[in-house]
């Protein structure tokens, strides 16, 4: 057989997205677009209270409405009443009590969505409101705090102990930092369609990140064997972690099984804010000790994450915050305590960056303080302490693949800065204090271009009081699931003749959520099989688990599985070719028929962190990204315009340059949002801003041009040497933007998002 590798759209090419033409034409079917004749619409009644006993539920008034087919409560859950990713502590429908505002209490199916909503509202629930626990620090650390769950309020406490903390430092900087509650805010709300099957099971078409873990949670609650719960991925309108937990899956299935009709549930935007977990808000206290020349001697940190009402993935988030809590820096003595606490706030769980984001904001803020205390530049302090291959993390884990952080910082710092500020710093009358002349500031005299000024567009000022700042941020993120998780993916690859031409069919359960995974799977098949024509089958549970589209892991793990399955197919084809020399691939397939192989792929095993010392090789791969942000700040009005973001990231091996750049752009945009805009406003356990008018995500005008440099230092343990890429930019962009605003204003700004008033109030003159 002649192995043809002439294919031009293999690994390394900017292969177009197979679903791209449909998406730009509006013809791609998202979960919310699904439709079956005769289907019913589901709706969910949610708790208005963050904490209450349920004294009674009367579904009668709802059932009495014409067009209503079913009204179900916890009593109607056929099997297990609770589910969860790590602990099954979350009720399918509230049982006797509610622990957060928005907790599902009852579900309805009706023949029109409006009828379903009205019926849900007609369910009469008698609550006895209790005091809500809303302070995570108190929940975690104060033994007198009321319990949200009987087992205690601490979801996980993970210490990390290395060396002996607290001695020998010549310079000490401390700081307290906070990160607000960020929302994933995908544009396509939660949606799915459940179809009752003749065998008593259910077929569920749903937008999710991990079909099999959904099924593993759904089936016990429906009291069905796994093979009677079949999931197919529907079009996913963004995920970013918010589709890792279940939302409407069990509810729609229950309603479908009860009514014998297909049931569609689509959340509205407001409901979406209540219908998925958020990024953990964090309170963090750090102390860094260093030598006078800026070499870290010790780091102490206390990190408290608000886990909200249910466990979700909080334990793993704590594991990341603890194990990556000092960042990519060499330091011998480490004393970290990371906690997640139960509160009556909304449940928090997975969001892009997953525990590493919060810590990164704090440790990078600390590195800037240390730089200032030691009289070093932000770049120099980071270079002096940078990890490299062979470095030992605080957990004792040795970085065993390239980690060229110092070189990345050097490259970043050498990138040209954007054009001069679009303003003319006015004369001495508007000079700021010495703090405002901090390192990183640039001052030039130029004619103003009023359009390029903060406030979006310049109509807010003509330049007086506008100052430029430059800031740096560095992030380190674990790729794939850590701490001993059996993290694998499955791929089935079949090569056959279609229309007389060799064709490869790749089938996995991996969720395309926008990251470009469908394209990458096809690219791998082309490269490994030398076949141009590749189809990626729809993801469903008729093939083995692919694991989650999270932790930046799918190119690695599902990519690895597709590669392994292709290699197995290729070996069989080679064996056939050896027996029948001289035949082309097409002739071989014609003679011997289709060749199909299925393979599981696992990354290297990891181990859980020691619960007392936090030691252990908990991660399989680590990825670095560094950002430089340039901002213009109108200090009088508190407005920030990010002028440019520059990033250097080492991805090991580029599989698809265009899609990769998009991932870095997108991660950077979400980090920018956390730095300047995004926070779910909570008051006494209630969400105040569940809309896109009040929860602001960056618009295209907020997102500046980006300069990228992408490095390829392969990881010998990973397929093609690749390193997961989706999350690291989300880490480092936030501290870079915050540092730039600090450099422009001279303010401490210990909390993100930074609001206009945080700046303007300090410049009230």
Partner 1 sequence: MDARITLRVDGRVRPLALDTRTTLLDALRDHLSVTSPKKGCDHGQCGACTVLLDGRRVVSCLILAVTCDGAEVTTAQGLAQEGEPHPVQRAFLEKDAFQCGFCTPGQVCSAVGMLEEVKAGHPSEVTDDLTGPVTLDDEEIRERLSGNLCRCGAYVNIVAALREEAES
Partner 2 sequence: MIPFEYLRAGDPAEAVAAVAGRPGAAFLGGGTNLVDHMKLGVAGPDLLVDVSRLPLDRVEETAGGLRIGAAVRNSDLAAHPLVRERYPVLARALLSGASGQLRNVATTAGNLLQRTRCPYFQDVTTPCNKRVPGSGCSAAGGYTRYHAILGASEHCVATHPSDMAVAMVALDAVVAVLGPGGARTLPLAELYRLPGDAPQRDTVLEHGDLIIAVELPHLPFARRSAYRKVRDRASFSFALVSVAAALDLDGGLVRDVRLALGGVAHKPWRATRAEAELRGGPATEDAFRRAAEAELAAARPLPGNAFKVAMTRNAVVATLRALAEEGR
Q: Which two tokens stand for residue 136?
A: 């995570």
Those residues with Cβ within 8 angstroms of residue 370's Cβ, 6 or more apart along the chain or in another chain: 171, 173, 288, 290, 294, 296, 381
Q: Is residue 677 a contact residue for partner 2 (CB under 8 A)?
A: yes
CB closer to partner 1, 252 vs 664: 664
CB closer to partner 2, 639 vs 646: 639
CB closer to partner 2, 621 vs 745: 745
CB closer to partner 1, 318 vs 648: 648
594 interacts with, out of partner 2, partner 1, none, CB within 5 to 8 A per kind: none
Q: Is residue 590 a contact residue for partner 2 (CB under 8 A)?
A: no
3-state secondary structure 136-180: HHHHHHCCCCCCCCCCCCEEEEEEEEECCCCCCCCEEEEEEEEEC
Site string for partner 1, 251-280 (x = CB under 8 A): ---------------x-xx-----------
Q: Is residue 46 a contact residue for partner 2 (CB under 8 A)?
A: no
Residues 489 and 560: beta-carbon distance below 8 Å: yes
Q: How far is the CB of 266 from partner 1 (least distance, A)?
A: 8
One of 609, 639, 647, 737 touching partner 2 (CB under 8 A): 639
Q: Which two tokens stand for residue 344?
A: 């009556």
Site string for partner 1, 428-457 (x = CB under 8 A): ---------------------xxxx---xx
One of 10, 13, 32, 316 touching partner 1 (CB under 8 A): 32
Q: How far is the CB of 422 from partner 2 (least distance, A)?
A: 14
Q: Give the DSSP H/E element, type plus range, for residue 61.
A: helix 60-63
Q: Is residue 226 a contact residue for partner 2 (CB under 8 A)?
A: no
One of 636, 714, 717, 748 touching partner 2 (CB under 8 A): 636
Q: How many residues bind partner 1 (CB under 8 A)?
A: 67
One of 91, 188, 463, 719 touching partner 1 (CB under 8 A): 188
Residues 555 and 520: beta-carbon distance below 8 Å: yes
Which of left, alpha, beta for 375 (phi over 0: left; psi -120 to 50: alpha)? left
Tell me which residue of 478, 547, 181 sits closest to 325, measured CA to CA.
478
Residues 469 and 254: their CA atoms lie apart, in Å, by 55
Cis peptide bond N-terminal to 753, omega within 30: yes
User: Which one of 15-23, 136-144, 532-540, 601-609 is the stretch in contact with partner 1 (CB under 8 A)?
Assistant: 15-23
CB closer to partner 2, 350 vs 676: 676
CB closer to partner 2, 335 vs 695: 695
CB closer to partner 2, 580 vs 757: 757
One of 2, 3, 5, 35 touching partner 1 (CB under 8 A): 35
Residues 544 and 562: their CA atoms lie apart, in Å, by 12
One of 83, 240, 354, 423 touching partner 1 (CB under 8 A): 240
Q: Is residue 689 a contact residue for partner 2 (CB under 8 A)?
A: yes
One of 171, 194, 654, 659 touching partner 1 (CB under 8 A): 659
Strands 333-342 and 296-308: parallel
One of 4, 18, 33, 464 touching partner 1 (CB under 8 A): 33
Residues 432 and 383: their CA atoms lie apart, in Å, by 30
Q: Which two tokens stand for residue 57?
A: 């539920």
614 interacts with, out of partner 2, partner 1, none, CB within 5 to 8 A per kind: none
Q: In what order do the strands lie in the sheet with 124-129?
A: 97-98, 52-58, 124-129
One of 285, 392, 439, 462 touching partner 2 (CB under 8 A): 462
Tell me which residue of 515, 504, 471 sits closest to 655, measured CA to CA.
515
Q: Give the DSSP H/E element, type plus range, for residue 109.
A: strand 104-110
CB closer to partner 2, 433 vs 765: 765
Tell me which residue of 527, 502, 521, 506 sits closest to 10, measured CA to CA.
527
CB closer to partner 1, 156 vs 452: 452
End-to-end distance of the chain based on CA atoms, in angstroms? 80
Residues 733 and 87: their CA atoms lie apart, in Å, by 32
The total number of residues written for the chain in this structure: 765
Q: Which two tokens stand for residue 376?
A: 């070093």
Q: Is residue 460 a contact residue for partner 2 (CB under 8 A)?
A: yes
What are the CA-CA distances from residue 673 to residues 320, 370, 449, 669, 755 (Å)?
Answer: 22, 26, 25, 6, 11
Residues 490 and 127: their CA atoms lie apart, in Å, by 47
One of 7, 670, 732, 734 touching partner 1 (CB under 8 A): 670
CA dihedral 324, 328, 333, 336 (to 10 degrees): -20
Count the Cβ atoms, other than its own, within 10 Å of residue 228: 15
Binding stretches for partner 2 (CB under 8 A): 48, 114, 455-457, 459-462, 464-465, 634, 636-639, 641, 677, 681, 683, 688-689, 693-694, 696, 698-699, 701-702, 755-757, 760-761, 763-765
Binding stretches for partner 1 (CB under 8 A): 14, 16-17, 19-21, 23-30, 32-33, 35, 114, 184-189, 235-240, 266, 268-269, 449-452, 456-459, 513-516, 658-659, 661-663, 665-670, 691-693, 697-701, 703, 705-706
């Amino acid at each position: 057989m002649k192995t043809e590798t002439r294919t031009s759209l293999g690994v390394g090419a900017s292969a177009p997205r197979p679903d791209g033409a449909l998406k730009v034409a509006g013809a791609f079917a998202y979960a919310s677009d699904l439709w079956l004749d005769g289907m019913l619409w589901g709706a969910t009644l949610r708790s208005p209270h963050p904490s209450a006993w349920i004294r009674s539920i009367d579904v009668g008034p709802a059932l009495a409405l014409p067009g209503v087919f079913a009204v179900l409560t916890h009593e109607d859950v056929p099997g297990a009443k609770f589910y969860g990713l790590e602990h099954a502590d979350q009720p399918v429908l509230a049982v006797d009590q509610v622990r957060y505002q928005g907790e599902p209490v009852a579900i309805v199916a009706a023949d029109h969505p409006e009828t379903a909503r009205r019926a849900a509202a007609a369910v009469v629930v008698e609550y006895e409101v209790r005091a809500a626990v809303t302070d995570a620090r108190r929940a975690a650390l104060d033994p007198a705090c009321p319990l949200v769950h009987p087992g205690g309020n601490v979801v996980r406490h993970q210490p990390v102990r290395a060396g002996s903390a607290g001695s020998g430092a010549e310079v000490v900087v401390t700081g307290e930092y906070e990160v607000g509650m960020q929302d994933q805010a995908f544009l396509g709300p939660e949606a799915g369609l459940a179809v009752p099957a003749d065998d008593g099971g259910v077929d569920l078409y749903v937008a999710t990140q991990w079909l099999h873990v959904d099924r593993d949670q759904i089936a016990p609650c429906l009291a069905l064997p796994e093979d009677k719960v079949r999931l197919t991925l529907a079009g996913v309108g963004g995920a970013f972690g918010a589709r890792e937990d279940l939302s409407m899956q069990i509810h729609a299935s229950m309603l479908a099984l009860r009514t014998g009709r297909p049931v569609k549930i689509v959340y509205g935007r407001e409901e979406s804010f209540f219908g998925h977990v958020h990024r953990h808000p964090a309170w963090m206290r750090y102390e860094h000790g260093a030598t006078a020349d800026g070499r870290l001697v010790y780091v102490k940190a206390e990190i408290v994450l608000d886990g909200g009402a249910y466990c979700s993935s909080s334990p793993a988030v704590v594991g990341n915050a603890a194990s990556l809590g000092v960042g990519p820096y060499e330091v011998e003595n480490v004393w970290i305590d990371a906690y997640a606490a139960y509160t009556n706030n909304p449940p928090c769980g997975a969001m892009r960056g997953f525990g590493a984001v919060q810590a990164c904001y704090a440790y990078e803020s600390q590195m800037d303080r240390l730089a200032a205390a030691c009289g070093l530049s932000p770049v120099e302090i980071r270079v002096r302490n940078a990890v490299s291959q062979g470095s030992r993390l605080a957990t004792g884990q040795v970085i065993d693949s390239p980690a060229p952080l110092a070189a990345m910082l050097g490259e970043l710092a050498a990138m040209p800065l954007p054009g001069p500020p679009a303003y003319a710093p006015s004369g001495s009358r508007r000079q700021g204090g010495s703090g405002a002349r901090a390192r990183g500031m640039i001052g030039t005299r130029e004619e103003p271009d009023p359009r390029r000024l903060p406030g979006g567009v310049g109509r807010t000022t003509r330049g007086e009081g506008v100052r430029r700042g430059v800031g740096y941020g560095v992030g380190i993120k674990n790729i794939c699931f850590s701490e001993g998780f059996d993290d694998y993916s499955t791929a089935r690859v079949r090569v056959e003749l279609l229309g007389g031409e060799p064709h490869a069919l790749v089938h996995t359960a991996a969720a395309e959520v926008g990251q470009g995974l469908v394209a990458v799977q096809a690219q791998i098949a082309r490269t490994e099989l030398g076949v141009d024509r590749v189809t990626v089958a729809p993801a469903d549970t008729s093939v083995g688990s692919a694991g989650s589209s999270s932790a930046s892991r799918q190119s690695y793990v599902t990519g690895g599985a597709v590669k392994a399955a292709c290699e197995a197919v290729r070996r069989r084809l080679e064996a056939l070719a050896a027996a029948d020399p001289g035949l082309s691939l097409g002739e071989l397939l014609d003679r011997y028929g289709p060749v199909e192989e299925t393979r599981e792929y696992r990354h290297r095993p990891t181990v859980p962190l020691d619960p007392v010392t936090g030691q252990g090789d908990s991660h399989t791969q680590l990825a670095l990204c560094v950002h430089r942000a340039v901002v213009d700040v109108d200090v009088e009005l508190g407005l920030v315009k990010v002028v440019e973001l520059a990033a250097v990231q080492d991805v090991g091996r580029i599989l698809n340059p265009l899609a990769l750049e998009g991932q870095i752009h997108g991660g950077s945009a979400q980090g920018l949002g956390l730095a300047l805009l995004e926070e779910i406003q909570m008051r006494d356990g209630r969400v105040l801003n569940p809309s896109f008018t009040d929860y602001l995500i960056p618009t295209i005008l907020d997102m500046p041009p980006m300069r990228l440099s992408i490095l390829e230092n392969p990881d010998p343990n990973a397929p093609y040497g690749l390193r997961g890429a989706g999350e690291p930019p989300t880490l480092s962009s936030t501290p870079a933007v915050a540092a730039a605003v600090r450099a422009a204003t001279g303010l401490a700004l210990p909390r993100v998002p930074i609001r206009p008033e945080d700046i303007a109030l300090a410049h009230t003159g």
